[in-house]
Every structure is written in C-alpha cells, then in structure tokens.
C-alpha cells in the first residue's frame, strides 16, 4: 500500500473532541486540520490494516517510519511521508528489523547463570528483579552501563541511572564516529553533526563515507541525491574511497587514494584551487586561518605521488569543485579511521571554507541543539583509548556490575583488548537483548528485551534536516502470542522501564510517562509543527504524525581550525606474520547487516550486497588484476592474518578495489546470534589492531595491515550474479511444410530430410549413415 502524506493524515485522523493543527513538513504555515485519533486496541479485527507512525531507534539515524499492522501483527515498515528526515523513503533494512519481532530465536524468559562456569537456566521476572537489585546494591561506585550510542530519552535514562549509582555510562560503537564529531567541532564549532545540502549543490565532493549505503541516514541522503540528480545538469558527484562502495559506484568521478592519504588529497585539491585563482581572496584568507601551516608540501605533484591519484584527476576534481558552485565537501567512514583521521577529516571539511559553503544553500547547514534541556541531540561511542582503560579495570576486578544493552561487545571488540577474559572477572554481568548473542555467553543474568516496535521513546535525528526535530517511538503491537497460542513469543520488558523500576524514581517512573511529560513540555512552548488546545491532544497529534519539528529553530556555526598535528598515517607491522602478501585492510559496514546488529534476520542475510551481490557469507574484495597475478580465483579460501589474529574469507576479485587493498564486510562471524547468524562467515573486527587516532583516541579501524595467504581450498561464493558457461544448443527443426494434395510422408521425403541435414549437420548425417 502506497501512502502519500495527505492520505496518511486522513487515515490516522479519526474522531475525538478538539482539533489538532499540523504544519506542512519543512514549511512553517499550517496546511491541514485533522482530529486526534481515539484509542483503539491494535489487535481489533476490522478487516482492514492500520498504520502507526514511529521511529526505529537502534537501526537508523532518526528515520521516521510507518508500520502496517493487521489483526495485531506488524506486517510492513515503510518510510513516513511526513517525516522531514527521510520523507517517506525506506531501505531494505527496515523490513529486516521487523523480522526480529517474530524471530523464532527470541529469548523467551529471563535466564540466570549461578556460576561463571555454569549454564544459563530460566527464571521468573521476580527472581530476575531480585538478582538485579542485589547486583546494584554491591555496585555503588563500581558500576558500568554499556549501550550502543543512543539519543533521545532512553539515552538520558541510561546516563542518569549510571550517575545514580556513582557509575559510568559508556556507549560502544565498533566503528565509532568520535573523529567525525571532533572534526566538526574544530572546523565548524558545532556539537551536532551538520546537514549537507546535497539537494541544492551543483558539486558534491565526499571522502570515505558511503552515504548512499550505510553512513548516517542513507534514506535521507537518497532523497537528497535524487533531487541533486533532478537538476538541469544532473549535478556532479566526486567520491574518494579505496574501494567501490555504493556511493563510489554512483559517482561521476571516483578517486581511489592510498588509504590514509585522504587529507593529503583534500589539501592537494585546495592547492590547485588557490594556485589557479578559482576562488575569492577572502575565501583564501579564511581557509589559511582554518588550516594552520598553510599548503607547504601540498603541491599537486607531491600529492599525486603520496595518494596514488594522477595529477590530471586531482586537477579535474579541483576545477569542478571550485567552478561549479554551490559545492559541498564532507567525509567520514574509512577516511577518519586512521591514526591521522582527525587531520584527514579536518582538511576535508576545511574545503567548505574555501568555496564559501558554510551556512549557505547547497553547502554545510548547521543543526540546532536538542528541544529538551536534559537530552542530548548527539551520540557517539566512547573512544577506544577510554575503552582500553575501562576493560583493564574489569580485568583487575575493580568493577562489580556491568549492564550491557544494544551492542554485542564481545563480537565488536578487537582481540587485542581480551574482552572475554575481562568479563570473566566481573562478578555481575547483566545483558539485555532479543536474541542470544556472543556477549551473553559471559552474562550472569540475561534479560529479554522488547523491540523498538513494542516500547516508548524519542529520537533526535543525527544529522537532522537543519532545524529542530524530535521523533517519537510508540508500541505498535501488543505482546505477541505464539502461533500455537501456547504463550508469548518472548516475556520481555523494555530496557528503559527496567532501569526505571530499579531506580530511585527521581527521573521518571516509566518510559511512557517520560515521553508524555516531554511532549507536554513541548506543547507549553507553543511552537512547532503541531498545535493543540490541550497537552493530551498535542501528544496524540505528535504520536499520530511520528514526531514534532520546528522549522524556525536553526543552528549556527563559526569557522575554527583543523586541530590535528599528525598528518601521516601509520599502520601495523606484518613482518612476523608468515607466508603471504601484504594488503591494507579496508573493513566496511555490510549494507544489509550493518555492524552485525541485523545478523539474526534471514532477510538481512539474504539481501545481496549492491556491488558484489554476495550474501550469507564473508568475502574479500581484491583487485581482479592483482588477484590474477597472485593466482587467486573467486571462491578461494583466504587466510587473513594480522597481529591480532586470523580469519578465513572467500576471495571475490573485481576491478572496483585499489591494488594493495582488500575490503572485507563487517557483520558476520557470530558464535551465537540465532540460527541464521551463528557460525556463519568471519568477524573482521576481531583482527583489528589497537592503533588509535592521535587526537581523539578513537580506534583507527582502517589502520590494520594484513598478510593474505591462500588456504588451498575453494568454496562457491553465495551471490546473486554469476557466469553461465555457453554450451552448444541443438537448434530446432522447422515445421514440416505440406503441399496441396501431399501426404506428410511425401513431404518429409521431399524436403524435411534436407532441413535436418542443414540444421543438425554432420551429427545427423552420421546417424543416417548407420
């Protein structure tokens, strides 16, 4: 069912007393008056479907979605056409996340491990609550709460809960974005990530970030990219990345620099622009302030030598970027995942100063802070340097209780930190989740968690659309009964509600109450996209629409400096790794599994990679010419060895990889994770070395050098493309032509034998001679 915005509002606005006024998305004027919906049970059998607006929390960067519910069952997730972030667009990952709700591997009840060497056994929630309280009573000052990076009120609850017990709140992201946030802060003076006005740009220059595939909100960027291509000259996209990602495949000019030299490439482009006088002296002066040390040693010839990009291609990119404005430059992903990641991203974002793209249409647009005073509008993982220190405390027995939610930290941490050994030394490890994962093997208490389709919450998109936005999350289904009606699929509870039940109550009694109070506060401001006479009507209206936004509340920025001393990338050594050939390792997020959080979904597992079409496995992208020289064929099992360990992958040679680089997707290699994920593929995160960004201490997850060796075996790569060998096919024999008054026998004797000889050739002649 396709819904446009007006149809959606008409469907959800039914009957009640009082009117709610909705402003058009992205426009300050009022457009349509509808009435707030009455409360109806979602499992009411009416012979028609119902649509509920909500947010996806852990699986997107703030996209708004509509969930189709039929007879109490969620059937489909689509983009919310009224939400200003993704504007009705969706990705394949939406429906993959839906499968987690009905997964046959969902944890059915709380489980307890009575000793570190024992097995998990089922217990009641009453017993689980008692054990949880005991763990908290012993943990004052020795508590760590670990989650994925969470914005909105759930992140606020987790932080306040840790603070109540004098503990730490430590968000974890295996491919942390701290370097990106640091670069934005130093160059633009912003705490929130800005939005990039791709829709109105003539030229887009991006580095490392696969923004059409996995970086940020691909649904949001996809909408903007469509508008970018609808311009009269189609716009011009330049993308720099060592491997051909989905974004690189869509580029008009793809540059494949040596990994870690993206900052050099950015300053080489700036050097050409300045030397050829392609921008105003005022812009050059502002750029010189932002880039301390100037452009000495960044002449185009020197940069071409360091990056492996030809002079002609660097000059082509520079002239296009400066001559066809508005233009915008941004980077992230692998470009910031080096020991000089802060320098790389700082240099990239400084290009916007050079072309006057800050706070302008078609350039970098700042985002405002949170609409709620106690809720952050930004979230990222703690730097790897801080994690090394924290895990050392676990290993030393200095932490009594660790609470983990939303991240499989055992799967996500490199072998170098010995996370398994550290968890063994923590007396109380409490893990929330929907499906058993690798971290739960080290848990003392496992608590089944409700999915985003069953809980209350808020989300603040990052990056936002350039103005204040609050997304809402609401339960769209009741607790789900098994098909045989023998009980619930999962007797689960929400993470936030469980923490609040264990808290002193000073920051809320339930997530529903917290969300309701927060929306009531928004109502009192008298501004934004929804207007209503009472707070209750306002809350219904916001939930009905999937969020609230104020197009008049915008951010501001100020030009700063590139704060990074280290300009040259460093990599791990490979001298002691035995036989093989050396490569730069380029891990990348899976387009279907992301960092592995969707590995339990069979739809995610079978979704083909958009470049290789591979699925259900871990493959290695290697340059096809280089592979031929090394005797590597598709499907060869390769041993990938680093100073932190070894994994096996399947070779996938193709031309869209820079020679000397081997690209491996993140997301597989789970010991547990349900029947669709366990023991499938390899975990590339485990072999990353402990190199860090020099400025932020973030993990330099693209700074690992590996030695590659053939294992002597071959396995067919599961993929949706293939080569079909050409085989000779016997041609058809023409229909027998029978003349007037002629029998079929006579016609065959007259001409059919000649047809057979002509079409079947010598083989038929041989048969006749016998």
CB under 8 Å to 549, separation ≥6 — which residues? Answer: 25, 84, 465, 467, 468, 469, 470, 528, 529
Q: 327 is written with which tokens? A: 């233009």
- Dihedral (C-alpha) 72, 152, 438, 130: value to the nearest 10 degrees? -80
Q: How far apart are CA 282 and CA 294, in angstroms?
A: 15
What is the residue whose two structure tokens read 């689509």?
Answer: 78
Q: Residue 675: CB partners within 8 Å, gap ≥ 6?
A: 104, 105
Angle (deg, nearest 10), helices 311-323 and 262-275: 60
The per-residue pLDDT for range 262-312, each reduced to its tens digit, is 999 999 999 999 999 999 999 999 999 899 878 888 999 999 999 999 999
| pLDDT tens-digit readout, 473-518 | 999 998 877 766 667 788 999 999 999 999 999 999 999 999 999 9
Tell me the average pLDDT across 460-470: 94
* SS3 state of residue 192: coil
Instruction: Taking the CA atoms of 659, 669, 702 and 572 in sequence, report the sign of the dihedral they define.
Output: negative
In whole angstroms, what is the distance from residue 375 CA to residue 465 CA? 18
Q: Burial of 73 by CB count in 10 Å (0-12 exposed, 13-18 middle, 19+ buried)? A: middle
- Do the Cβ atoms of 677 and 606 come closer than 8 Å? no
Reference 554, options 470, 468, 469; nearest CA is: 468
Residues in Cβ contact with 760 at an 8 Å cutoff, skipping those fewer than 6 apart: 730, 731, 733
∠ CA(722), CA(626), CA(303), 5° rounding? 120
Q: Which two tokens stand for residue 210?
A: 């696969």
Q: Residues, the chain, total?
A: 770
Question: What pTM does this model have?
Answer: 0.87
Evaluate whether 555 touches 364 at the Cβ level (below 8 Å).
Answer: no
pLDDT band at 726 (very low <50, low <70, confident <90, very high): low
Angstrom distance (rounded) from CA 262 to CA 209: 12
- Coil, helix or strand for 200? helix
User: Buried b vs exposed e over 251-286: b needs ≥16 C-beta within 10 Å?
Assistant: beebbbbbbbbbbbbbbbbbbbbbeeebbeeebbeb
Q: How confident is the model at residue 750 (pLDDT cuts 50, 70, 90)?
A: low
Instruction: Say if residue 738's pLDDT is above 90.
Output: no
On the CB side of 629, CA atoms within 13 Å amount to: 8
For 223-245, what is the mean pLDDT? 95
Do 454 and 477 form a contact (C-beta atoms < 8 A)?
Answer: yes
Residue 44 tokens, joined: 């009411």
Buried b or exposed e, range 454-490, using 16+ CB within 10 angstroms: bbbbbbbbbbbbbbbbbbbbbbbbeebeeeeeeeebb
Give the CA distances from residue 260 to residues 127, 208, 244, 267, 307, in Å, rounded to whole numbers and listed in that order.
52, 10, 16, 13, 9
Rounded distance between C-alpha atoms, residue 517 and residue 513, angstroms: 6
| pLDDT above 50: residue 28 | no
pLDDT at 39: 47
Q: What is the pLDDT of residue 562?
A: 79
Angle at 183 between CA 182 and CA 184, to 5 degrees: 90
Query: Strand, coil or helix: what is 244?
Result: coil
pLDDT at 751: 63
Distance in angstroms (rounded) separating the CA atoms of residues 52 and 42 = 9
Give the residue among 14, 161, 46, 106 at the shortest CA–CA distance from 454. 106
User: 657-690 pLDDT, tens per residue?
Assistant: 999 999 999 999 999 999 999 999 999 999 999 9
238-271 per-position pLDDT tens digit: 999 999 999 999 999 999 999 999 999 999 999 9
Q: Where are the alpha helices (DSSP H) in 215-340?
A: 218-229, 246-250, 262-275, 281-290, 300-307, 311-323
Residues 6+ apart with CB under 8 A from 665: 587, 588, 589, 590, 593, 609, 618, 619, 684
Q: Measure the CA–CA gap between 62 and 55, rounded to whole angstroms.
A: 7
Distance in angstroms (rounded) separating the CA atoms of residues 86 and 554: 19
Which of 736-757 are b and which e, b meaning 16 or more Cβ less than 10 Å from the residue's Cβ?
Answer: eebeeeeeeeeeeeeebeeebe
């Amino acid at each position: 069912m396709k819904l446009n915005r007006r149809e959606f509002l008409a469907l959800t606005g039914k009957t009640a007393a009082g009117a709610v006024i909705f402003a058009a998305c992205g426009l300050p004027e009022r457009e349509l008056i509808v009435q707030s919906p009455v409360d109806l049970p979602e499992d009411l059998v009416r012979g028609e479907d119902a649509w509920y607006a909500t947010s996806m929390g852990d699986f997107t960067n703030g996209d708004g979605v509509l969930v189709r519910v039929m007879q109490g069952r969620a059937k489909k997730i689509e983009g919310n056409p009224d939400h200003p972030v993704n504007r009705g667009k969706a990705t394949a990952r939406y429906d993959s996340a839906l499968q987690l709700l009905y997964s046959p591997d969902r944890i059915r009840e709380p489980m307890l491990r009575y000793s570190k060497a024992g097995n998990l056994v089922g217990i009641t929630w009453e017993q689980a609550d008692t054990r949880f309280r005991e763990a908290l009573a012993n943990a004052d000052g020795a508590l760590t709460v670990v989650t994925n990076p969470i914005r909105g009120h759930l992140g606020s609850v987790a932080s306040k809960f840790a603070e109540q017990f004098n503990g730490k709140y430590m968000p974890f992201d295996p491919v942390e974005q701290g370097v990106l946030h640091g670069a934005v802060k130093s160059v633009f003076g912003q705490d929130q990530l800005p939005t990039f006005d791709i829709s109105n740009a003539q030229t887009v220059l991006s580095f490392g970030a696969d923004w059409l595939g996995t970086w940020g909100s691909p649904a949001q960027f996809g909408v903007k990219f469509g508008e970018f291509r609808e311009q009269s000259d189609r716009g011009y996209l330049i993308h720099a990345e060592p491997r051909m990602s989905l974004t690189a495949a869509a580029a008009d000019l793809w540059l494949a620099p040596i990994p870690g030299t993206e900052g050099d490439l950015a300053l080489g482009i700036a050097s050409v622009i300045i030397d050829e006088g392609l921008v105003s002296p005022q812009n050059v002066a502002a750029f010189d302030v932002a880039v301390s040390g100037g452009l000495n040693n960044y002449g185009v010839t020197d940069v071409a030598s360091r990056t492996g990009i030809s002079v002609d291609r660097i000059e082509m990119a520079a002239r296009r970027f400066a001559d066809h404005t508005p233009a915008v430059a941004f980077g992230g992903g692998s470009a910031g995942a080096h020991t000089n990641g802060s320098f790389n991203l700082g240099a990239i974002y400084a290009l916007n100063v050079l072309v006057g793209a800050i706070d302008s249409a078609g350039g970098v647009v700042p985002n405002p802070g949170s609409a709620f005073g106690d809720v952050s509008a930004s979230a990222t993982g703690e730097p790897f340097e801080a994690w090394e220190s924290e895990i050392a405390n676990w290993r030393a027995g200095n932490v009594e209780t660790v609470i983990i939610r939303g991240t499989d930290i055992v799967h996500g941490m490199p072998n170098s930190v010995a996370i398994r050994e550290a968890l063994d030394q923590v007396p109380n490890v409490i893990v929330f989740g929907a499906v058993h994962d690798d971290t739960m093997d080290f848990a003392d208490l496992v608590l089944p968690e409700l999915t985003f389709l069953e809980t209350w919450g808020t989300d603040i998109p990052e990056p936002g659309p350039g103005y204040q936005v609050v997304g809402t999350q609401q339960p769209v289904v009741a607790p789900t009964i098994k098909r045989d009606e023998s009980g619930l699929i999962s007797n689960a509870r929400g993470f936030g509600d469980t923490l609040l039940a264990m808290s002193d109550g000073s920051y809320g009694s339930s997530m529903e109450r917290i969300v309701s109070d927060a929306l009531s506060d928004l109502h009192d401001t008298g501004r934004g996209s929804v207007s209503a006479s009472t707070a209750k009507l306002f809350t219904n209206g916001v939930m009905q629409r999937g969020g609230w936004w104020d197009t008049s509340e915008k951010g501001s920025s100020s030009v700063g400096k590139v704060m990074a001393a280290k300009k040259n990338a460093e990599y791990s050594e490979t001298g002691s790794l035995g036989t093989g050939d050396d490569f730069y390792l380029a891990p990348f997020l899976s387009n279907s599994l992301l960092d592995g959080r969707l590995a339990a979904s069979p739809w995610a597992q079978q979704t083909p990679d958009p470049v290789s079409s591979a699925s259900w496995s871990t493959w290695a992208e290697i340059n096809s010419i280089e592979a031929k020289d090394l005797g590597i064929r598709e499907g060869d099992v390769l041993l990938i060895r680093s100073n932190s360990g070894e994994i096996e992958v399947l070779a996938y040679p193709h031309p869209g990889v820079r020679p000397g680089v081997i690209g491996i997707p993140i997301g597989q290699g789970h010991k547990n994770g349900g029947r669709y994920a366990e023991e499938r593929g390899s975990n590339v995160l485990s072999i990353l070395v402990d190199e860090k960004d020099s400025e932020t201490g973030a993990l330099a997850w693209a700074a690992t050098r590996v030695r590659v060796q053939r294992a002597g075996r071959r396995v067919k790569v599961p993929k949706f493309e293939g080569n079909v060998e050409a085989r000779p096919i016997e041609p058809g024999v023409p229909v027998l032509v029978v003349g007037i008054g002629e029998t079929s026998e006579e016609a065959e004797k007259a001409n059919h034998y000649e047809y057979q000889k002509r079409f079947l050739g010598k083989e038929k002649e041989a048969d006749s001679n016998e």
